[in-house]
């Protein structure tokens, strides 16, 4: 199998986005190396957890050398987050490995652990700089929002519903509006929908990483006396305060219809 066919194979089915496509150009080469060295996808996920945790924690410091390391670590985490998915698809399709749900679960744990820790760390740094306790609350609220608090609660209720009722097609159709989503919907849509798709992607883990990287570079180039990441924290906090109740109410209405 040539490289182009292999790229199509292992990079399909993992979701698609304008920002994510940039990372895939880097992740494919690393995936090829891991395939040749026979490194398992769960091993890469474990390594990505290391970079995710330390990258997020280092955001709690204001020393420039620690911030440099933080940006480097979270960028490496972002790349490896793509690599483990590509390796998992290679193991399943090419190696015919019978894979359970432990891999996706491990990957999800890293995501849910990284985002709250990242914004709490930024809030802690802002608190140490300005003495503003509100920064800590912003970090907490953003972490709850971006860790899919509303989604997770609805999925828990859905799992109870499935186990307690007979798993018929009729019951599954009732919950379809909640769990069904198309991560690959990018082509053949209007410019307006592409724009809003890009905006939504900017709130994802990969979007947060690239935004923080961009703000860090701007601070370095223009020697701005204040840290832009703190303003990003406050902006995200305001968005979370207004958006999290909306998302929870949306799922509340959907779940109310399931009887």
* Residue 132 in this model has a pLDDT that exceeds 90: no
Segment 125-142 shows an average pLDDT of 92
Element (H, E) at 15: none
Residue 15: the pLDDT is 59
Residue 203: the pLDDT is 84
Task: Compute how many other C-beta atoms are within 10 angstroms of the C-beta atom of residue 28.
Answer: 17
**Which fold would CATH assign to domain 3-256?**
1.20.120
Residue 189: the pLDDT is 62
190 — alpha (psi -120 to 50), left (phi > 0) or beta? beta
Write out the DSSP string of 183-217. TT--SS--HHHHHHHHHHHHTSHHHHHHHHHHHHH
The answer to whether the CB of 85 falls within 8 A of the CB of 31 is no
What is the rounded CA–CA span in Å between residue 134 and residue 140?
Answer: 10
Question: Which tens digit of pLDDT belongs to each residue from 76-88?
Answer: 999 999 999 999 9
Place of tokens 């009732």: 174
The highest-confidence range among 15-29, 63-77, 174-188, 199-213, by mean pLDDT, is 63-77
* Residue 177 in this model has a pLDDT that exceeds 70: no
Residue 253: the pLDDT is 82
Q: Which of 4-8, 54-58, 130-134 is predicted with the least confidence, judged by mean pLDDT?
A: 4-8
Residue 235: the pLDDT is 94
Task: Compute how many other C-beta atoms are within 10 angstroms of the C-beta atom of residue 174.
Answer: 18
What is the chain's mean pLDDT, rounded?
84
Q: Which of 29-43, 67-81, 141-155, 162-176 is predicted with the least confidence, judged by mean pLDDT?
A: 162-176
Residue 71: the pLDDT is 97
DSSP type of residue 117: H
What is the rounded CA–CA span in Å between residue 65 and residue 230?
Answer: 18
Burial-class residue 8 by CB neighbours within 10 Å (0-12, 13-18, 19+).
exposed
**How many percent of the chain have pLDDT more than 70?**
86
Residue 122: the pLDDT is 96
Question: Which tens digit of pLDDT belongs to each residue from 192-218?
Answer: 777 777 787 888 888 999 999 999 999
Residue length of the chain: 259
How is residue 118 written in tokens?
């990242």
Please tell me the pTM assigned to this model.
Answer: 0.85
**How many percent of the chain have pLDDT more than 90?**
44
Q: Hey, what's the torsion of the CAs at 241, 243, 245, 251, to 10 degrees?
A: -160
Is the C-alpha dihedral spanning 116, 122, 127, 133 positive or negative? negative
What is the rounded CA–CA span in Å between residue 124 and residue 131?
Answer: 9
């Amino acid at each position: 199998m040539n490289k182009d066919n292999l790229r199509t194979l292992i990079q399909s089915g993992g979701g698609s986005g304008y920002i994510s496509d940039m990372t895939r150009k880097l992740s494919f080469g690393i995936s090829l190396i891991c395939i040749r060295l026979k490194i398992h996808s769960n091993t890469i996920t474990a390594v990505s957890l290391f970079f995710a945790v330390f990258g997020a924690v280092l955001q709690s410091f204001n020393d420039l050398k620690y911030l440099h390391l933080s940006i480097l670590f979270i960028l490496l985490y972002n790349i490896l987050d793509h690599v483990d998915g590509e390796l998992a698809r290679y193991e399943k399709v090419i190696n015919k490995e019978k894979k359970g749900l432990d891999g996706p679960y491990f990957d999800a744990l890293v995501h849910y652990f990284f985002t709250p820790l990242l914004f709490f760390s930024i809030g802690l740094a802002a608190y140490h700089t300005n003495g503003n306790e509100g920064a800590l609350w912003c970090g907490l609220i953003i972490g709850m929002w971006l860790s899919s608090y509303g989604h997770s609660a609805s999925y828990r209720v859905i799992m109870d519903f499935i186990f307690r009722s007979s798993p018929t097609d009729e019951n599954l159709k009732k919950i379809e509006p909640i769990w069904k989503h198309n991560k690959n919907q990018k082509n053949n849509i209007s410019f307006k929908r592409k724009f809003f798709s890009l905006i939504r992607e900017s709130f994802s883990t990969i979007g947060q990483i690239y935004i923080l990287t961009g703000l860090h570079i701007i601070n370095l180039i223009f020697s701005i006396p204040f840290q832009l990441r703190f303003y990003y924290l406050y902006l995200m906090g305001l968005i979370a305060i207004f958006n999290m109740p909306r998302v929870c109410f949306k799922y509340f209405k959907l779940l109310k219809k399931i009887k």
